[in-house]
Amino acid sequence: SIVSEDDTCGSSNSTYQALGSPQPTDQEALLGKLLDRPAPGLHRPEDRFNGTYIIFFSLGIGSLLPWNFFVTAKEYWSFKLRNCSGTALGKDSEDADILNYFESYLAVASTVPSLLCLVANFLLVNRVRVHVRVLSSLTVTLAIFVVMIALVKVDTSSWTRGFFTVTVICMALVSGSSTIFNSSVYGLTGSFPIRNAQALISGGAMGGTVSAVASLVDLAASSDVRDSALAFFLTAAVFLGLCGVLYLLLPRLEYARCYMRPVGPARAFSAEDHPPQHAPAVPWGASGSRTPPLRPILRKTTNLGFCILFLFLITALIFPAISTNIESLHKGSGSPWTTKLFVPLTVFLLFNFADLCGRQVTAWVQVPGPNSRALPGLVLLRAGLVPLFLLCNYQPRSRLSTVLFQSDVYPVLFTCLLGFSSGYLGTLALIYGPKIVPRELAEATGMVMSFYMYTGLMLGSAGAALLEHLI
């Protein structure tokens, strides 16, 4: 069920096999559209030194690195929200509420603006050129990180709640701009062979892994959490600048230029209709509606959309709000492995590494296919992970007193399963989406798939905040 790029004809969007090659029924959605077939004898350039793949992988890292650095700097936020006065919790109940449920507030502050910006980006897809959206969103994200860098060494003990408000606003702006950047680049990969979308998505997981490793190194080497946060934010700012440079280099590659050529305007096709294969190339929005047709995209992606929404709902329900509050059963031993390093190691590093492994496996194995009933079945099975995490040593807990899993091995295993299943199944659904529609709808379809993802993240984050209060 794997379609090698070397065995395919040069379609700019749909991956399809040459005549005489076997076509598994499960892959018909990917193989059925012969769009923009190059003229006979037309040479398709190679991706020399995997330059385009590396650029998309790096852009994937940059798309999620800011959010990951925000989340993994948990010790820094705890320090700032404790009035910079040691480890004692604030006496005020509101201060304690902010500190105990900070991850949930941060998750909601990131997903709601992301959803709104995703809708705006879909409406602007034919009105604002993709490079304008990408570069402007990178600039906004970089500016916010400059503000956060400036606040690291500022004493905020006299305005803790004000600092919390500023942090939430910054998170909302970073999430919104990162969403525009990520969805725009992801939509762009819809015109490339499937391996480039996989590179972008795997790069996002690598960004999480890098931030988790950086968190562990800083916790082990630095005694001041402010120095750790400063290193985090400076690294994110430098990498955002690098992403801007790499994106500007992309159209200079012959391979990338071949797939970034203009396509015909978006038109709606019924399930029985087939788009013309020899239509002239016309830039986006040159005729017809300037907003991509939503109904045919939704009709084509209903099954995949459900998989993405439910998968990321379960992921956001558990990570990071629930999983970061699971403590080691041997915390009283005083060992750094069971205290300050337990959450960064067993939650952030393991989840992101397992997520990266799951996404990378899709470069070689792509089963089940887009029309398979096994895909939504496997996604639904992940709901069973929620009670498994809650029955670990989650703290604080007042209503649910039972800790069924009396070993630190269990949350490690559950986190690996959560991350790998999220990476593998989520990547499959995301890379299938833009490949089952005509090429002129690929970018818009990529944004719709992102909309499903952020809707799931928003619902999961809201559910996690409610679940924390119920426990």
Q: What is the pLDDT of residues 135-146, one digit of tens each?
A: 999 999 999 999
* φ, ψ for residue 336, nearest 5 deg: -65, -25
pLDDT category of residue 227 using cuts at 50, 70 and 90:
confident
d(CA 437, CA 30): 9
Mean pLDDT of 298-322: 94
d(CA 391, CA 396): 13
Distances 404 to 31, 247, 329, 386, 414 between C-alpha atoms, Å: 48, 49, 12, 14, 14
pTM for the whole structure: 0.79
Give the residue among 5, 20, 13, 19 at the shortest CA–CA distance from 37: 13
CB 179 within 8 A of CB 114: yes
Tell whether the model's pLDDT for residue 115 goes beyond 70.
yes
pLDDT category of residue 210 using cuts at 50, 70 and 90:
confident
Tell whether the model's pLDDT for residue 429 goes beyond 90.
yes
pLDDT category of residue 103 using cuts at 50, 70 and 90:
confident
Mean pLDDT of 55-68: 89
Query: For the chain, what is the radius of gyration of the CA atoms?
Result: 23
Does the domain spanning 49-262+290-470 belong to CATH 1.20.120.920? no
pLDDT category of residue 186 using cuts at 50, 70 and 90:
very high
d(CA 76, CA 72): 9
